């Protein structure tokens, strides 16, 4: 997946004129097989790869950032493998176990994300950022306490979000917002492999984010309140600002809905060794969702119908 993303980004940048010339064979192989990003990621633009050879910095802040990223990775590894099952046993309420399985899966993703931060910074990436050596991959605080599903998608994998936005979403935007969103999630599904489970989650997430986006945009316009999927600027035209109590409560409510959807979508990513070895199929996915009565899909459908009615 990472190799494909790098190859596609170089091709698009060369076609759009972002690169003055194609890289040499040695530069191309060095970028694609860069030891700091080819295993855990993250995806980095070709220009950032070239920058690591321009007066590299090796200092105490560089070492500190690597150490912090590794410690955060180990912390989320323990959360994924130990803590969640200690706090929420198998005989708990089904929605609690759904939240537990989803949290365990998300924590394993955070483990890989922070480990990829450490490997990339160890290789020299991030030395031209502000603040220095800031190379965010995932930001758990914006996912575990979300404002919206759109925010979750952005902070789940920031480099991949940027790649999809630049090379897929903007390219297909002339076809319309809904087509661009579905195209983006379809390409993401292909990059992750032809797997029904991942495709079902990603395409469901695409439909959810679209329904959430259009509903909150219409409600923000009708009530003049800062309840969009992203925080508003301080000089926005809304009458009711972010710090108003009613606006805070509404945003908290939408955040709770986003957490509900995350529990539902992540429930099938369990820790079953047998299923992990054999691979997840469509029957496993549908069985997991059927236990929860497809509640999230029905809720998302109701959200879109409500948008059409107001």
How does pLDDT run across 205-258, given as a tens digit for each residue? 989 999 999 999 999 999 999 999 999 988 899 999 999 999 999 999 999 999
User: Integer distance in angstroms from the first to the last C-alpha of the chain?
Assistant: 42
pLDDT-derived band at 291, boundaries 50, 70, 90: confident
Per-residue pLDDT at 273 exceeds 50: no
Length of the chain: 310
Per-residue pLDDT at 74 exceeds 90: yes
Cα-based torsion angle of the residue sequence 190, 195, 197, 199 in order, rounded to the nearest 10 degrees: 20
Per-residue pLDDT tens for 177-192? 888 888 998 899 888 8
Give the integer Cα–Cα distance in Å for 158 and 107: 16
Burial-class residue 193 by CB neighbours within 10 Å (0-12, 13-18, 19+). exposed
Share of the chain above pLDDT 90, in %: 58
Average pLDDT over residues 298-302: 96
Structure tokens of 271?
């820790």
Contact 203, 181 (CB under 8 A): no
Average pLDDT over residues 16-40: 89
Catalytic residue among 85, 161, 192, 297: 192
Average pLDDT over residues 275-291: 69
Contact 122, 64 (CB under 8 A): no
pLDDT-derived band at 114, boundaries 50, 70, 90: very high
| Average pLDDT score, the chain | 89
Burial-class residue 139 by CB neighbours within 10 Å (0-12, 13-18, 19+). middle
Query: Is 192 annotated as catalytic?
Result: yes
Per-residue pLDDT at 271 exceeds 60: no
């Amino acid at each position: 997946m990472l190799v494909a993303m790098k190859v596609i980004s170089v091709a698009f940048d060369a076609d759009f004129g972002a690169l003055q010339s194609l890289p040499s064979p040695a530069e191309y192989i060095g970028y694609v097989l860069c030891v700091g990003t080819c295993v855990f990621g993250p995806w980095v633009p070709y220009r950032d790869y070239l920058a690591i050879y321009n007066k590299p910095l090796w200092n105490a802040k560089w070492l500190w950032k690597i150490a912090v990223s590794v410690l955060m990775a180990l912390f989320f590894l323990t959360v994924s493998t130990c803590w969640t099952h200690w706090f929420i046993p198998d005989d708990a309420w089904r929605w609690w176990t759904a939240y537990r399985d989803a949290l365990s899966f998300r924590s394993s993703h955070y483990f890989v994300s922070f480990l990829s931060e450490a490997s990339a910074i160890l290789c020299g990436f991030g030395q031209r950022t502000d603040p220095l050596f800031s190379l965010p991959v995932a930001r758990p605080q914006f996912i575990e306490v979300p404002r919206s599903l759109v925010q979750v998608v952005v902070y789940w994998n920031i480099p991949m979000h940027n790649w999809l936005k630049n090379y897929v979403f903007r390219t297909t935007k002339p076809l319309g917002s809904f087509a661009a969103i579905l195209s983006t999630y379809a390409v993401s599904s292909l990059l992750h492999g032809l797997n029904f489970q991942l495709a079902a989650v990603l395409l469901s997430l695409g439909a959810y984010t679209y329904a959430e986006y259009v509903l909150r945009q219409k409600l923000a316009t009708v009530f003049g309140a800062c309840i969009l999927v992203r925080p508003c600027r301080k000089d926005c035209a809304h009458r009711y600002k972010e710090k108003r109590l009613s606006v805070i409560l509404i945003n908290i409510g939408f955040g709770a809905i986003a957490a509900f959807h995350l529990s539902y979508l992540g429930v099938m990513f369990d820790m079953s060794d047998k299923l992990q070895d054999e691979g997840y199929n469509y029957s496993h996915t549908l069985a997991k969702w059927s236990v929860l009565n497809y509640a999230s899909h029905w809720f998302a459908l109701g959200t879109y119908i409500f948008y059409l009615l107001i």
